């Protein structure tokens, strides 16, 4: 054996020995710390001065262990599994209603059409007084939800307090599997302009969008553009994002590449079938709550220059999670890879504060290029090709919503109106009646100016400054201006009232359809699709 070969074998033997030693040391550390944790868990449970719930202690321990990794790796106990099922296949076992604590009771705020709750006769505005004879007073939303969950076919007796009813109403509700449609609405929003709303990437999301686009094309042969609405869509199944991109791009296109710790697990995700339409102009709407699979879809379509992305910068979640069974119906949702879209960029935000992505200056984000050579950035979500201001309720409108004034008014309206016109025709025009209702409710709210004035007053008092007269003068001016807030925000308030009222009669699909009538971002998308030259200019980067 020559010297070089002998030295190589010696080096290989030493390297292998070191690797094995390191691995053994790592496994020893794991075993040692597991034993320490088990001993501590047992002693705390046995000897702590107060009675403890072992499940709560373990849950806190699991959450603390995973907290330092990323916001999306988490432990799911048996009671959390229903929420996971909603995200993955759009179904769950329950009643099909959501609620919010208002005063002492949880009040039903939304009902899914054709759900067990709908079939049993529950209506929005019902306050849950008791469930199977147990008082629900003082319970929060999660506690009531836990009461209501159960296997399909089982029944629960509810006592509800219904506005306008002379006494509490007893309802027997049979639990079932609740199916939540991921495409609540599709149709025309302008002449020859189609619209498809996708709320989550649950099972069949891609095929449901494909079906919606096919129907739009069949009913409207002159269709000249499609708006794909991914706003507020937090993601879901990655394979459904691939299928959705495939609706608009040919077979064999790379949509995403996943890379993790184990190279053998890395996969390239490509479109698998023929597209529905690879030419029709496309606008994808996103906002700051569009995440994960929404970002794969919008980012891939942007990278391939297949559509114009419009709205606000998306959330910035470029991580892939897989679930692992832990036994006893518990799971761990574990980040196993990062995904990269066609340009090669990863849009995962690298900075978080309290679990929320922190904006990264564009100067610190790496540049990549789309197929046509347009510059796009990594590390912080998808930046739209057309940026739009975020449309949100603020000031007096936000206060009316947060204090449930508009909700309660819609409840009273529904009591006095058994039916309304179709979604597109219905208009609420009794603004004076609403203002009277607001006055009767003794509604009040604090404006940003009042908050600042309160801070100034505290400083003046603390530092004993002689400014009482001046502050009182400013306060009177603010109060005078405040009286006109309802009138100044009339259009937005009317929009919110119409949304709430329509939801009582036409459920979520009605809300989506009604919102389109006044949606400023949809109007911008329509304007762009009607301007072919501008659309092509954006995608060409010229």
- CA–CA gap between residue 415 and residue 411 (Å, rounded): 6
Residue with tokens 């929060």: 140
Measured in whole angstroms, the distance separating CA 434 from the mean position of its chain's CA atoms is 31
Q: What percent of the chain has pLDDT over 70?
A: 89
pLDDT band at 17 (very low <50, low <70, confident <90, very high): low
Phi, psi of 172 (to 5 degrees): -100, 120
Cα–Cα distance between 210 and 195 in angstroms, integer?
12
For residue 505, pLDDT beyond 50: yes
Q: How many other CB atoms are there within 10 angstroms of residue 74's CB atom?
A: 18
For the entire predicted model, the pTM comes to 0.80
What is the pLDDT, as a whole number, of residue 93? 59
What does the buried/exposed string (b/e) look like for 404-433 if buried means 16 or more CB atoms within 10 Å of the residue's CB?
bbbbbbbbebbeeeeebeebeebebeeeee
- Show the domains of the chain with their CATH numbers: 91-179 (2.30.42.10), 185-390 (3.90.226.10), 395-518 (no CATH)
Q: Taking residues 420-438, what's their average pLDDT?
A: 94
Could you give the C-alpha distances from 74 to 18, 48, 70, 354, in angstroms and in order?
33, 27, 9, 15
pLDDT band at 16 (very low <50, low <70, confident <90, very high): low
Q: What is the pLDDT of residue 477?
A: 84
Model confidence at 348: pLDDT above 90: no
pLDDT, tens digit (0-9, with 9 covering 90-100), for 222-280:
999 999 999 999 998 889 999 999 999 999 999 999 988 878 878 899 999 999 999 99
Distance (Å, rounded) from C-alpha 449 to C-alpha 317?
A: 36
Q: Could you tell me what percentage of the chain is helix, strand and coil, using 3-state DSSP and rounding each to the nearest 5?
A: 45, 20, 35
Cα dihedral value 415, 173, 98, 509, nearest 10: -70
């Amino acid at each position: 054996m020559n010297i070089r070969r002998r030295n190589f074998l010696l080096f290989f033997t030493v390297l292998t020995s070191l690797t094995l030693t390191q691995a053994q040391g790592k496994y020893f550390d794991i075993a040692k710390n597991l034993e320490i944790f088990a001993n501590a868990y047992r002693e705390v449970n046995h000897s702590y001065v107060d009675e403890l719930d072992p499940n709560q202690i373990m849950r806190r321990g699991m959450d603390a262990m995973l907290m330092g990794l990323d916001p999306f790796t988490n432990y799911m106990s048996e009671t959390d599994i229903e929420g996971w099922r909603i995200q993955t296949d759009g179904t769950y076992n329950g009643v099909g209603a959501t609620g919010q604590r208002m005063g002492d009771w949880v009040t039903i705020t939304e009902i899914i059409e054709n759900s067990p709750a709908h079939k049993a006769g529950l209506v929005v505005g019902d306050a849950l007084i008791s469930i199977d004879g147990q008082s629900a007073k003082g319970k929060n939303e999660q506690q009531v939800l836990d009461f209501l969950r159960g296997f399909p076919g089982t029944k629960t007796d509810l006592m509800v307090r219904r506005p306008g009813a002379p006494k509490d109403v007893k309802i027997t509700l049979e639990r079932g599997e609740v199916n939540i449609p991921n495409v609540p609405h599709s149709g025309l929003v302008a002449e020859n302009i189609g619209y498809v709303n996708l709320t989550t990437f649950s099972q069949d999301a891609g095929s449901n969008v494909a079906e919606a686009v096919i129907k739009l094309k069949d009913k409207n042969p002159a269709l000249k553009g499609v708006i794909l609405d991914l706003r507020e869509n937090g993601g879901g199944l990655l394979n459904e994002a691939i299928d959705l991109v495939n609706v608009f791009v040919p077979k064999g296109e790379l949509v995403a590449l996943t890379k993790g710790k184990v190279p053998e697990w890395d996969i390239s995700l490509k479109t698998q079938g023929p597209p529905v339409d690879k030419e029709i102009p496309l606008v994808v709407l996103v906002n700051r709550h569009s995440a994960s699979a929404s970002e794969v879809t919008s980012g891939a379509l942007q990278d391939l220059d297949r559509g114009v992305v419009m709205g606000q910068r998306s959330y910035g979640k470029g991580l892939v999670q897989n679930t692992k069974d832990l036994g006893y119906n518990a799971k761990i949702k574990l980040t196993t890879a990062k995904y990269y879209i066609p340009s090669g960029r990863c849009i995962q935000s690298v900075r978080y504060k309290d679990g929320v992505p922190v904006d990264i200056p564009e100067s610190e984000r790496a540049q990549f290029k789309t197929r046509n050579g347009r510059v796009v950035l990594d590390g912080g979500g998808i930046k739209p090709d057309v940026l739009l201001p975020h449309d949100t309720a603020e000031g007096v409108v936000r206060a009316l919503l947060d204090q449930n004034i508009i909700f309660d008014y819609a409840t009273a309206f529904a009591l006095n109106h058994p039916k309304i016109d179709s979604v597109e025709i219905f208009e609420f025009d009794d603004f004076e009646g609403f203002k009277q209702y607001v006055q009767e409710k003794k509604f009040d709210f604090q404006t940003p100016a009042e908050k600042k004035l309160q801070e100034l007053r505290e400083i003046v008092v603390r530092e004993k400054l002689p400014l009482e007269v001046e502050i009182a003068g400013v306060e009177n001016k603010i109060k005078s201006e405040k009286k006109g807030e309802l009138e100044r925000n009339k259009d937005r308030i009317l929009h919110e009232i119409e949304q709430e009222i329509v939801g009582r009669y036409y459920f979520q699909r009605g809300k989506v359809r009604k919102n389109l009538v006044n949606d400023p971002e949809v109007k911008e998308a329509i304007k762009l699709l009607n301007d072919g030259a501008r659309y092509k200019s954006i995608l060409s980067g010229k």
